[in-house]
Amino acid sequence: MKTEKKKVVPRNYNRYVWGITILAVIIILGTNYLPRSTSNTLFGIDLTVLPLFNAIINGITFFILVAALVMIKRKNITAHRRLIYVAFTFTFIFLISYLTYHSMVASTTFGGEGFIRSFYYFILITHIVLAAALIPLALISLARGLNMDVEKHRKIARWTMPIWLYVSATGVLVYILVSPYY
């Protein structure tokens, strides 16, 4: 088991956390007001592959987060930190892909009826709400981890990790449920 003992000079990341959070929410909401392309292409690339790509990225992120959780339970801080960096990288790639798709292509309407419709919208709404909450939670967790403020990091990570896992898993589920209607 590897553990790190290096001294960390705490930094105040609050303005970055809230600046990135506010900017991300504005950009995500702003994509709803952009005119949509009728061709579903960007520079000759078919954008209709992006929802599948996004689901794959969400699935990979889920498994990376599980591995990060296993590593921290084993007290392997170095591996945990590296996996969290990878999870953030995949989440950033997802966000760019998601924004590209939703700024260029019209939204897909779910066509299911009955119980599956209620189930889909429950999953979709909780996914959206928790994804929005995840932005500051993940950034605060990261900042506290970078500062090696272990107690505060643990307190918020106990909320952040399950929410991030849920958002990643339900991102895949939302794709599976809506994909017949693309």
151 falls within a domain: yes
pTM, rounded to two decimals: 0.88
Locate 6 and state its tokens: 């290096």
Number of domains in the chain: 1
What is the domain range of residue 79? 41-181
Q: What is the pLDDT of residues 117-142, one digit of tens each?
A: 999 999 999 999 999 999 999 999 99
Locate 66 and state its tokens: 């599980």
55 falls within a domain: yes
Select from 48, 29, 30 the least CA-distant residue to 38.
48
- Which residues pair with residue 45 across a beta bridge? 42
114 falls within a domain: yes
Can you give the CATH number for the domain in which 84 is found?
1.20.120.80
Q: What is the pLDDT of residues 137-169, one digit of tens each?
A: 999 999 999 999 999 999 999 999 999 999 999
116 falls within a domain: yes
